[in-house]
Structure 1
Amino acid sequence: MKIAILGANGRIARIAEHMLLAHDDIDLTLFIHTEDELGADIKNNPHVTVVKGDAKNPDDVFAAIDGADEVYANLASGRGHTADIIPMAKAVVDMMDRAGITRLVWISSLGIYGEVPGEFGAWNAKVLGDYLTDYRKAADVIEASDLRYTIIRPAWLTDKDEVDFEITEKGELFRGTEVSRKSVASEVVELLLNPEEHVRASLGLDKPGTDGDKPEWMLSNSTEHLSE
């Protein structure tokens, strides 16, 4: 199996890469922008090819995904440039169509559908602001395509060394306030290894029992979780 990972420097992506490379029959093409934060154990793996480019540039995206069986997009826009995620989504959809690839796992955010209830939902919307609007528009691009996509909407992210999560479907109210990056990565890998699961679905991921008005560890002015 050949998998292209867009935004391969991301923290969730790097965890998923290690999980995927535990399988000897998987080759990865890792698409990064400029700064290379990949560890030597990743870059020197014979099953890895690293490609640099701009995810807003369709030709760069095509160069990264051509020949892949599946695409995992862990893309993020920089602070103050949240609208960049929309042309990224369009480039991914268009170039996957061009390359004849149908399976996509796309990382988004909780709250893009207004699905987060109560005080936590109000706080989340206030902190994220235009981020939610732009990431919803990007999700709309994915959902309007003919791809066999799965959108993942994680809660606020932690670095806890645990896999502990529950899933809510699109149309259901979101539950918890946080989830570990390792949990999200494990679900990404599960979807890539089992590409018939959750096709054309949008999944919320949270850690059970973390309901509340906001993540207990999160300062209200922090958006650290947005960067992957």
Structure 2
Amino acid sequence: MANVMILGAHGQIATLARHQLLKETDHHLSLFLRNAGRLQDVNPQRETVIDGDVTDTAKLTKALAGIDVVYANLGNKGIEDQAKSVVKAMDAAGVSRLIWISTLGIYDEVPGAFGKWNHQMLDGGYLETYAAAAKVIENSDLKYTIIRPAWLSNKNIISYELTEKGEPFKGTEVSRRSIADFVVKLINDPSKHIGASLGVDQPNTQGDKPSFY
């Protein structure tokens, strides 16, 4: 059994990962989020809810006591500051294993027409901030895995492939359920993919843009 902290626990991928962890493992989950009253289905035997903002480094540091793995499902224009606070708090708490959700395109690794479309959709504050946050994580001394999902769908499918940093991104889309499944696998075997930044897409979805656009 591991003690797992989920940052941004109300997010769609985080919710899927959380429910999968409750179903398939005996891990204890600490759910850290703003406006914690949004969580209506908490299992008091398996879950601890903490209402807080991850940029409150002191509160986050305190909450990390006894945690083995941190899964961060964060994201907004302040994600670079969130990353800095997470790194500082984890260092202070002596917690090293981090799973960090980012996005495709932060290294300009998406080729062809899809890469151009992705820039058109995400440039102007989104890709730039996510790239800056990823750099904070990569420059830390944490045992991190950065996950760069393709465009996300709500399809009820688990099917994904990985690309390493420095390799061209492959497909255009991936299901949230697939990303959640990969997160759960990393939590269950935290020795895998340490120091990696991994693109995640559904096989055979290459094209100029995702199928739902």
- Fold conserved between structures, TM > 0.5: yes
Q: CA deviation at 1:61?
A: 1.9
CA distance in 2, matches of 1:154, 1:36: 28
Alpha-carbon shift at residue 22 of structure 1 (Å)? 2.1
Aligned to 1:155: 150
Distance 2:39 2:172 in 1: 29
Is contact 1:103–1:149 with CA below 8 Å preserved after alignment?
yes
Matched, 1:4 2:5: yes
CA deviation string 1:60-97 (max 9, x = no partner)? 322332220110000011xxxx1x00110000001100
Separation (CA, whole Å) in 1 of partners of 2:73 and 2:87:
14
Matched with 1:103 is 97
What SS is found at the alignment partner of 1:192?
A: helix
- The equivalent residue for 1:140 is 135
Match of 2:117 in 1: 123
Structure 2 gaps, min length 5: none
Structure 1: segments with no counterpart, 5+ residues = 219-228
Q: CA deviation at 1:25?
A: 2.8
Of 200, 205, 209 in structure 1, the residue corresponding to residue 204 of structure 2 is 209
Task: Indicate yes or no: 2:56 matched with 1:57.
Answer: yes
Q: Is the 8 A contact 1:9 1:38 kept in 2?
A: yes
> RMSD in angstroms over aligned alpha carbons?
1.2
Count of residues in Structure 1 that have an aligned counterpart in Structure 2: 211
User: Which position in structure 2 is the counterpart of 1:224?
Assistant: none
Supply the distance in 2 between the matched residues of 1:209 and 1:37 (Cα, whole angstroms).
Answer: 37
How far did 1:23 drift?
A: 4.3
Give the share of equivalent positions with the same residue, in percent: 51
Q: Is the 8 A contact 2:6 2:70 kept in 1?
A: yes
In structure 1, the residue matched to 2:70 is: 71
AA aligned opposite 1:181: R
3-state DSSP class of the match of 2:5?
strand
CA distance in 2, matches of 1:152, 1:124: 17
> Which residue of structure 1 aligns with residue 19 of structure 2?
18
CA distance in 2, matches of 1:63, 1:158: 35
**Distance apart, 1:100 and its partner CA:** 0.5
1:105-130, Cα deviation, whole Å (9 max, x unpaired): 00000000000011111111111112
In structure 2, what is the equivalent of residue 166 of structure 1?
Answer: 161
Structure 1 stretches of 4+ moved >4 Å: none
**Mean alpha-carbon deviation: is it higher for 23-32 or for 144-153?**
23-32
Partner residue in 2 for 1:223: none
Report the counterpart of residue 44 of structure 1 in structure 2.
Answer: 43
* Residues 91 and 46 of structure 1: CA distance in aligned 2, closer, same or farther (over 3 Å): same
Contact 1:109 1:154 in 2 (8 A): yes
- Distance in 2, matches of 1:151 and 1:34, equals 26
TM norm structure 1: 0.89
Amino acid at match of 1:6: L
* Superposition deviation, residue 35 in structure 1: 5.7
- Equivalent pair of 1:9/1:36 in contact (CA under 8 Å): no
